[in-house]
Structure 1
């Protein structure tokens, strides 16, 4: 058996792939098939690129260049301490998933060999040579069936979902269903102990909407994330909605379930529509993160979070996902991220400006948000 050649990726190639991922025009499965790289590695490069851009503009790079001889002397004196910390971090990295640790291996590192990196990360070097493949057509078909069933029956857990798929003729095991539902971000609504927990280091805020009369726009905003199936892969969508008027204030697509597209949507909503009194979400790690909650705190917005497993606490945006998928996503089976973006923009524009709601007295969400419905009615009566 011949010697296996290690694939090394240069900085220019990584930057190119990361930029494509940031654009969000292709799913991770499509990028993986295009470049022959595992999806986890692409997601890691995207995250590193975003963090690198932030540090570029924060002045950290200039501070590092300006480090003087005194700083170097101090750093040399800490070599012994750093050796101890290195050993500690090597042990701590074992708590990360194998995929995340594999994505951390840098084949082009000038000082650490792949063998040494794998040893520090406590992973097998053979895993580096796995050839990635995109999601298969049968898998994507299963994910769509699960998504459709979950919209109708959000109380389905993995066991009930498995039985539902069996009735449709798909002989899949529970572990398979659990993995797909986790990938799609779906969780049954019933209460269950010690599950669907938020990030252990993030603060969870109390639910503030119980028995609260929501009677005006910008009194309460809400947000959520949903899975959007495509013909080849899938993307994630987040939206921010005004609770009273049901108007969609901002939205973003992403090929990874990261924090950036959530904070971008929040920034846009705050910039275009001011600030609400209360902002309500579920307990996802994206919404409990310090970056997200700090933006709300800086704007003097009170933070509210659903009870664990209680989809009814954020019911209106759940209804938005149902309408959006049945009336737009499932009807078109979009081929690319660009096509999906254009389709969502058209549907959300129609939903906001042309679709009347019975709960709003026949007004559209935009009319209810701008409180122009009563004025229009008065003018008609006067005429």
Structure 2
């Protein structure tokens, strides 16, 4: 006759564990007095610590269906844990053991260590051995540098990649290399927002005369107010499109004029030009470049350019590369300011765009073409006049 397995109630197990925790007696002695094995008490302690009130479901007093339901529930919970771990782990799945151990250490209060080890393909013993090893100086420096990188990354709302983060750290007297910053950003999953394609917003009027491409893709200027480029883009909102006309100075890539409206018409670009003229007061001979959109070829706009003594230049038909600088600016603006947000109203979008252009892009954001200086600082270091606020 086979050995009959003893079945103990939930209450018995709980009291046995409580006795082991409070009596002060050795577990082996308590086990002998209760007529059970000391391994049973150790097992019950672990189960109670891991599952709390759900521990000891009581196999001997429930139907097979109830037991199967509990087993399935535990399986679902385990799969949900693994799914959540995989979501957070990201690049750690393809990283070395050190990075996996760091991930486990970081999330050990959120997920069981044993489950994370199984998901990441490392052993528990290896993790605990890693914890006991002293951290080398290089790792400590990396950990501190990662905190500095995270701070700069979030300060700029995820708009900066490793080149600009590196410049921020260097200007803050933090010694590191750009490659090291790039490596650490990859390891912790920090990636700058990517650019997307721009949709055409202007359309040529065949009746209006057009000007030749005088700029001819010479996107460098030796001083401010020598070459301006202009174009229109759109921002989606819950109230419909909000159109934005911008004028850039090619010397510093500074936005010198802008205007926003719910209508993409001549008045939109005229207001942007008025702002630029009022703030910069350019002398005659400034080159103004745009596409062949009807807003720019209109009689009223061309008259303003003529009265200001500007040289008119226009892109060739269907050639966006002839105005590549402002195309690039719009791509950056949309990705960093508008691509992840649907503004509830035109007013909300106006405020966000105004803040981005005037307070962030012109004065703070580092521009790769300018040696990673902001447009404002680039003009200031060149002892050239900047925007006038009147």
Give me the TM-score of the superposition, normalised by structure 1.
0.46
Give the number of the structure whose alpha-carbon radius of gyration is greater: 2
Give the alignment's TM-score, normalised by structure 2.
0.45
Asked which structure has the greater RCO (Cα within 8 Å, sep 6+), the reply is 1
